[in-house]
Chain A
Amino acid sequence: DAGITQSPRYKITETGRQVTLMCHQTWSHSYMFWYRQDLGHGLRLIYYSAAADITDKGEVPDGYVVSRSKTENFPLTLESATRSQTSVYFCASSVSGSNTEAFFGQGTRLTVV
């Protein structure tokens, strides 16, 4: 489990500010994912990446930007934070996208005030 880490663990930011959530994995997994978790909605996919320099939108991508210049890092940026983006964000990685376990980071609790 220590192989995938998120930072920061907690973040409070103001509406309109840009904020970046970091995700780092040490397994050289091909796939990485970003989910947000909200009460009543479960885990909703924001963006995912099949490999370095390859990213795709998930279910709720609006207001978010991702990049993946290196296999081990997959940062998520909120370009102009809104209160509706207050959530717990989980990063995950898997060896391949199909038929393999996804390992989750410990999560980042983001509050937008």
Chain B
Amino acid sequence: GENVEQHPSTLSVQEGDSAVIKCTYSDSASNYFPWYKQELGKRPQLIIDIRSNVGEKKDQRIAVTLNKTAKHFSLHITETQPEDSAVYFCAASGDSGAGSYQLTFGKGTKLSVIP
């Protein structure tokens, strides 16, 4: 099955600096790569996603890049703010066989933005 590795596990940045979180995946058939943000005690929520036919996608201060050849994708947050502090999860989705799809997550990155 799919295996998603995520680094780093913790990340501290000064307010206003950029943060980068990197993920690799193992299954070349995966074609959908979402990123979720989970605030303390709350449910994970989608912040951005990218599909395999796109190399980069941007939404205000958040961007995601995908390198299908190398099987890795990254989340970039610019001009970080204290409210960006949370746990971020990357995920990969692809055909798990017999036409059904799994959504496999990385282990998460705890981002702390220091005011």
Instruction: List chain A positions with a Cβ less than 8 A from chain B.
Output: 1, 31, 33, 35, 40-45, 48, 50, 54, 56, 58-59, 90, 92, 94, 96-102, 104-107
Contacts and interface: CB of A to CB of B under 8 A. Distances in A.
Contacts of A99: 31-32, 51, 93
A44 B44 CA distance: 13
Contacts of B93: 97-99
B89 interface: yes
User: What range describes how many residues of B lie at the interface?
Assistant: 20 to 34
A96 B107 contact: no
B101 A35 contact: no
Contact of B45 (A43, A58, A94, A104): A104
A41 B89 CA distance: 11
Given A42-B106, A45-B102, A50-B101, A98 B44 contact: no
B94 A43 contact: no
A42 B4 CA distance: 11
Contact of B1 (A59, A98, A100, A102): A59
B46 interface: yes
A84 B79 CA distance: 40
B99 to A, nearest CB: 8
Given A48-B102, A99-B32, A105-B43, A43 B89 contact: yes
A56 B96 contact: yes
B103 interface: yes
A31 B100 CA distance: 9
Interface string B16-57: 000000000000000110100000001111100101000000
B89 A58 contact: no
B49 A104 contact: no
Contacts of B96: 56
Contacts of A40: 107
